[in-house]
A and B are shown apart, each in its own frame.
Chain A
Amino acid sequence: MSIRIFVPLAALLVSLLPAQNRQQPSQEDLKAKRTEKLAKEVFKKAPWVADYDKAREQAKKENKLMFAYFTRSYAG
Chain B
Amino acid sequence: MLFLHNTSRVEDEPYPTLLQDKGFRGFPSICFMDAEGNVLAKPGRSVQAFRDGLASTKSLVVLRQKGDKATPAEQKELFLAELKLDLVAVADIQARADKLTLTDAEKGMVASKIVDGEIMAVMQKGRELGQDEMLKQLADMAKGGKTPSDAVAPNFWPAVLNWASKAKDAALAQKAFDALEKRFANDKNPNLDRAKKSWAKLLEDAKAK
Q: Which residues of A does B touch, CB under 8 Å?
A: 27, 30-31, 33-34, 37-38, 43, 46-53, 55-56, 58-60, 62-74
Contact = CB atoms under 8 A, between A and B. Distances in A.
Contacts of B4: 38, 43, 48-50, 68-69, 71
B134 interface: no
Contact of A72 (B1, B8, B31, B61): B8
Contact of A74 (B7, B32, B34, B61): B7
Interface in B30-59: 30-37, 40, 54, 57-58
B57 A65 contact: yes
Nearest to B36: A56
B185 interface: no
A66 B11 contact: no
Residue of B13, B27, B34, B35 with most chain A CB atoms under a 10 A cut-off: B35
B36 to A, nearest CB: 7
Contact of B31 (A60, A68, A74): A68
B28 interface: yes
B27 A71 contact: yes
A74 B9 CA distance: 6
Contacts of A73: 6-8
Interface of B: 1-11, 13-15, 18-19, 22, 24, 27-37, 40, 54, 57-58, 61
Nearest to B57: A65
Residue of A33, A59, A62 with most chain B CB atoms under a 10 A cut-off: A59
A16 B133 CA distance: 34
Given A56-B36, A65-B33, A70-B19, A49 B11 contact: no
Contacts of A50: 3-6
A6 to B, nearest CB: 35
Contact of B2 (A30, A53, A69): A69
Nearest to A51: B14
Given A52-B14, A66-B37, A67-B33, 14 more contacts: A33-B8, A34-B13, A37-B6, A49-B2, A50-B3, A66-B2, A67-B31, A67-B32, A68-B30, A69-B2, A69-B3, A71-B4, A72-B7, A72-B8
